[in-house]
Amino acid sequence: MNEKFIYDVESSKLYSPDGAFLKKVYCPKAKHWNQLIVDDPQERSRGCEDCGDRVHNLESFDSRTSKLTYRDCVYIPVNSQRVIFINKEKEVPKPNQVGRNDEGLPIIRTVRNTKDINRAAAMGYWPDVRRIEYMDKSSTPRIPSGAKGRSNKKVALEIKFRVMQNPVTGVISVFGDYRSDYRQDFSEVKEVIPFTFYYPYYQSRPIAAYLIPPDLQDGSKVLIEDPIEDMLGSTWNQGDTQRAMNIIGYVKDRKVIIHHDSIKTTHYIG
Please state the domain extents for the chain: 5-90, 95-133+205-268, 159-198
pTM of the model: 0.68
Rounded to the nearest 10°, the torsion over CA 239, 245, 251, 252 is 10
The better pLDDT of the pair 208, 14 is held by: 208
CA distance 188 to 199: 30
pLDDT value of residue 89: 62
Rounded to the nearest 10°, the torsion over CA 104, 110, 111, 116 is 30
Give per-residue pLDDT as tens, 101-155.
889 999 999 999 888 898 889 889 999 999 999 999 877 665 555 555 444 457 8
